[in-house]
Structure 1
Amino acid sequence: MSDLLDIIGADLTTTLPNGAAVRFAHLDYAASAPAVRAAADAVRDLLPYYGSVHRGAGLRSQRSTFEYERARETVAEFVGAREGDTVVFTRNTTDALNLLARALPAGTTTVVFDGEHHANLLPWPSPVRLPAPADPDEAVEAVRVALSSVRGPALLAVTGASNVTGEIWPVRRLADVAHQHGARVLVDAAQLAPHVPVDLDDLGADYLAFSGHKLYAPFGAGVLAGRSDWLDAAEPYLRGGGASASVGDAPGDVVWATGPARHEGGTPNLVGAVSLAAVCEALLRADRVALLEHEQSLLAGLDGGVSLFGGRQPRVGIVSFAVPDPAAVADRLAQDHGIGVRAGLFCAHPLVRRLGGAGTCDTGGLLRASWGLGSTHDDLDRLNTALHELGVCP
């Protein structure tokens, strides 16, 4: 594996109560993945030239503008952008989905499952909310029924991989049904993109959103990529400099920019965009099959976990467990074993309640372990051993 995908801080240590120093086992990638060297190197190389984008004629501004637009081209390649597609830089997946929600044509019907992360559950105006399905066939049929009576523009908004169970949703099948009924498809790829290649055509997606901080570039950048027509026709997401092509003397006398600039008002996050693109480029050059096989070998060593699809769907490196007092277990894992996991509802309250039972929210939700680049068999072995010692083995 290229050293560009080496984890910064992979040798971070923590001290246990007995005084022993151990390598910290970070197993909370689904919340925020650690940075890789490609991101850090990109920032280091950019900072001497850092300046305002699209604003000046000097060396710093010209170089910064070049790097920002080159980052957009790299991300477009990473997602398999097609002719007529656009790439808009946002703050994160939540920001990207809110942008698209604001850009929907009047009267658009949005269909979404209640098993989504809140980022893809809450932005849509008056959505048709479907119960999280028990299996992929049920999901496909539910979308078919929901869209069969829709007239006018429609959008199916669906996750690529669950941030709770790690299960990969049958996105292509859902997209094919949606397109048969004239609907467009948005894929929340926040948890999918770090683990497997994402391609708009392969997924059957019209739009794709993901976050840099899940993709080993923690500098506050995200992406909305996909068809440009709705975005070009919409009111600017952020009104201000950059989004405006010209401003007259009278209130409302404004000509808005076209293309990505229309929704990137203000000074953009140049550092975030460039670092995110550097990771995308490194992943494009990497052997993604080998990376996925390694992640799957780690998954094979961790049995059990809650499942929406009965364990029949493939997973990315995310597993959640129903354990007594998950917050206390997570604290013990951190303090006594040097292992970082996540306890709670994971911004997916309806799904966690469904998987853990009606009282799950009252008892603290679930316990989640997640991993990716740089994770080792030793990390998962330590987790297994610690859970057995705590009497909550999966």
Structure 2
Amino acid sequence: MKDELIKELDHIKQDLINMSDHLYDNPELGDQEYESMKLLTNYLEQQGFQVDKGIVDRPTAFKAEYKGEKPGPKIAYLAEYDALPGVGHGCGHNLIGTMSVGAAVILSKKIDQIGGSVVVLGTPAEETNGAKVPMSDEGIFSDIDAAMIVHPSDLSYSSGDSLAMDAIQFAYKGKSSHAAASPEKGINALDSVIQLFNGVNAIREHVTSDVRIHGIISEGGQAANVVPEYAVAQFYVRAKERNNLNNVVEKVRNIAQGAALMTGTTLEISNYELSYDNMITNKALSDAFNKNLEQVSGKTVLPPKQSYGSIDMGNVSQVVPAIHPYIGFGEEGLIAHTQEFADKTITAEGHQTLANGALSLALTGYDLLTDKALYQSIQQEFNSK
């Protein structure tokens, strides 16, 4: 049967290449991926999938499902298709979206024989305000047995972990005044922000080594001779596990409150982006994918990369068995979020990476649908986390 899946890839490989190259030529930023979504969903509809657009109140999100004639597990492939400002698809989301679509289409050709269902979830804005967060919160994964996505990289790496992250804004309100003629009548909101940064820097010595805190002053006044009455700082606070992150965030919030008390300002704290949970890789599912990728590509899958970033796939992994591995172009040291990385996706190596990723995802889905022992080990591992 797996040989037949390889043949199915051959039938659609050029379609996938055409779609990926089109996405490269027409990049769209997060939550603006209207044409990208249309391209992918039109193709899925042509392949017999039932498509629901605009889910979780995100206009460019979608769910596409192919239900088999026999009962069985439901596999989800997650598609990303947002681009970056300036460098377009410098993170290779044109490949990610088409790899997931390709995997689902390949597997759908055998679903009626083996049973189960296959789903593609279109997940906008991974780079900024990831739609996987509301999808996880609102029960989109409640009937899904496993979720998979594969990300392009320089080399191939196993699915690993990621840091939980909160994006927090601190907005201070003071009172303006002439900074030279009557400074005593002003309340300097920028001073509050400066004290906030000083306080954050003071606690760095007293948090675990996995914690990352980094921020900017997004508003700090308009002119040097006017006491700033409004100032804003935005921070990302990260940690390996959500519980630790919550403790660190509480400390940062207390520092922010202290800065307001020190300077006499008022403070408003808010989240300016969605919060991401830490990624929990399902090892049984990861091992199955690695085996397929090594067979397909003929190259070794390396151990997970140490990650200090945050991904919305982390939220998915909290509610369903999930993996987020990396598939390599075969060019060690190639750096994501660059024009060079984007350009690599439309080369012969990029096209082969696309094909290998789609097939490896499809083969892993097939394994999960047909191997009861694998399915049980995946679920047992997830339920024991």
TM above 0.5, yes or no, is: no
TM-score by length of 1: 0.27
The answer to which structure has the higher helix fraction is 2
Q: Which has the larger radius of gyration?
A: 2
TM-score by length of 2: 0.27
